[in-house]
Structure 1
Amino acid sequence: MDSAVRPGVALAVLCVVMVAGAALLYRVAGLGAASVAPKAAIRGAVQLGLVALVLAAALTRLWSSLLVLAVMFVAAVLTSARRASAGWSSGWLAMAIGAGVGVVLPLMLFSAVVPPTGVAVVPVGGIVLGGTMTATSLAARRGLDAVEQRWGEVEAALSLGFTDREARLEVVRPTAGDALLPGVDQTRTVGVVALPGAFVGVLLASGSAAEAAAVQMLVLIGLLLSQACAVAVTVELIARSMVHRGR
């Protein structure tokens, strides 16, 4: 399609100009080291290049596509674990991310709404996995911060006869809404504030606005369920001290 972004010299030059502009702003406005944006851009370009090569072969078969999703899942768990700063206990967050994705993807596949092909499973699964990872990271970080900062309230609840789980829930549960807010806001404002990636991708590929809207709504509603499952499990893991920071 003529409207699609095509690789070439013009694209490369434009990206270099934008990265240079970002680096300049980092330096002038004191946002951080000027190398942050260039390093991120180079890393992103290398990763996308490698992913493109892998996907070109992997998407031809369902089993290899599922293997790609498995690798993405491991990367998502490691990212959430690092963000939580909970040491080895953060490995339990795999349960939270798995709960979210494990509910939504089977529903999409068994309903036949998403065909069991690599071309469909990897993009949709990747978006759901990425959003679930973000919500899990936020829930874990905010929940553990709340336990640390409001430990006096936890101890007060314990002195009143609350169990350890109940006492922790008193300070952790209110933070869950913050982790879910980005996904909820994205769904509420879709098409009004911004056009998300799934919509734009399908629109550029097929040219059909109706198909693009259908895919985007499927992804957004799937994310609402997946993120809710993941955050609920994360809150429970923190309340049961399975995910914790050293004290």
Structure 2
Amino acid sequence: MITSVLLATDWVRLLIVCVVFTAVACAIALFTGLLDPRRFLTAATRAALQLAAVSAVITFVLSHLGLTWAFLVLMAVVATATSARRTEAGRRGAWVALPIVVGTVPSLTLLLVIGLLPVKGIALIPVGGILIGGAMTATTLSARRALDTLHDRYGEYEAARAMGFPERDAVCLIIRQPAAEALVPPLDQTRTVGLVTLPGAFVGMLLGGAPVWQAGALQIVVLLALLAVEAAAVAVVVELVARGLIRRPSQEGEVRLT
């Protein structure tokens, strides 16, 4: 009975804290005009529902390797859909799947082949989720910056073409550096790890009772893998935009490759 009361109290505290944080974010957005407050409310609600659903099925998924792989594929599909929507590329948004998987699959494969990552759901899903999520963020940010820059600096693109640059090279000249800004957050996270941030893999292993050195070793592997995945994602995005494969509907007539 006492245990049940304590658990109920913990849930009440959790609910209060979540409501307070969400309300603060909405209030800041409302009074500063940064974003529509409803976006924070929607994100918080979705996060709570999705985590509740995942918590309900995760034990079953982790105990079946086939379901683990299926869950990773589902993660990649959702990441692609999210990035495509944020990129506003319309029917061409399907191309964002390529930068998301091009670094993630080889990185996971390497970790499995050399034995640093066991072929178990309890290891594959967290690490795979981190890599897929990082690739999604890098893809979204780099694609948005690249497409915005191509639109805003279209005159520079025309000038490059007039100077004899091929179509692809002219586009790359304009978008490469803006797209690369998507790598600033992961680079800063890697540079300041342990001094400013203690990432999830490290904290999770410590809470699970792993030695500090083991948690640190896994975290550095994950961080460096994440850097490689995100760098690959940005590079592929630049190439896809330069070749006209990723475009917003309003931009499809701006650049035609010959």
* TM surpasses 0.5: yes
1:174-230 Cα distance to aligned partner (Å, 9 max, x none): 123201111111100111112112211111112532222122111100001111111
- Go from structure 1 to structure 2 and tell me whether the alpha carbon gap of 1:177 and 1:30 turns closer, same or farther (over 3 Å shift): closer
Q: Which residue of 2 aligns with 1:83?
A: 86
Number of residue pairs matched by the alignment: 242
**For residues 30 and 171 of structure 2, what CA distance do their matches in structure 1 show?**
42
Deviation at 1:162, TM superposition (A): 1.3
1:92 aligns with 2:95: yes
**For residues 239 and 35 of structure 1, what CA distance do their matches in structure 2 show?**
35
Deviation at 1:27, TM superposition (A): 4.0
Work out the percentage of aligned pairs sharing the same amino acid: 44
- Go from structure 1 to structure 2 and tell me whether the alpha carbon gap of 1:189 and 1:10 turns closer, same or farther (over 3 Å shift): same
**Amino acid aligned to 1:169:** C
Q: Which residue of 2 aligns with 1:222?
A: 225
**For residues 144 and 27 of structure 1, what CA distance do their matches in structure 2 show?**
28
Q: Which moved more, 1:237-246 or 1:121-130?
A: 237-246
Deviation at 1:110, TM superposition (A): 0.7
- Go from structure 1 to structure 2 and tell me whether the alpha carbon gap of 1:136 and 1:32 turns closer, same or farther (over 3 Å shift): closer
1:112-131 Cα distance to aligned partner (Å, 9 max, x none): 10000000000000001101
Aligned-pair Cα RMSD in Å: 1.8
**For residues 34 and 80 of structure 1, what CA distance do their matches in structure 2 show?**
21
Deviation at 1:42, TM superposition (A): 2.2
Deviation at 1:170, TM superposition (A): 0.6
**For residues 201 and 61 of structure 2, what CA distance do their matches in structure 1 show?**
20
Of 235, 238, 250 in structure 2, the residue corresponding to residue 235 of structure 1 is 238
Extract unaligned runs of 5+ from structure 2: 1-6, 254-258
**For residues 159 and 27 of structure 1, what CA distance do their matches in structure 2 show?**
47
SS at match of 1:8: helix
Extract unaligned runs of 5+ from structure 1: 1-5
**Amino acid aligned to 2:55:** A
Q: Which residue of 2 aligns with 1:55?
A: 58
Q: Which moved more, 1:81-90 or 1:135-144?
A: 81-90
**Amino acid aligned to 1:41:** A
**Amino acid aligned to 1:124:** V
**Amino acid aligned to 1:223:** L
SS at match of 2:208: helix
Of 119, 126, 149 in structure 2, the residue corresponding to residue 146 of structure 1 is 149
SS at match of 2:58: helix
TM-score norm. by structure 1 comes to 0.91
Deviation at 1:142, TM superposition (A): 0.6
1:84-143 Cα distance to aligned partner (Å, 9 max, x none): 111111211111111011221111111110000000000000001101110011111111
**For residues 24 and 166 of structure 1, what CA distance do their matches in structure 2 show?**
45
SS at match of 1:206: coil
Deviation at 1:15, TM superposition (A): 2.3
- Go from structure 1 to structure 2 and tell me whether the alpha carbon gap of 1:107 and 1:10 turns closer, same or farther (over 3 Å shift): same
Deviation at 1:30, TM superposition (A): 4.6
1:23-79 Cα distance to aligned partner (Å, 9 max, x none): 444444455555444433222111100011121111112111010010010011111
Q: Which residue of 2 aligns with 1:208?
A: 211
**For residues 27 and 146 of structure 2, what CA distance do their matches in structure 1 show?**
36
**For residues 167 and 54 of structure 1, what CA distance do their matches in structure 2 show?**
49
Of 13, 31, 40 in structure 1, the residue corresponding to residue 43 of structure 2 is 40
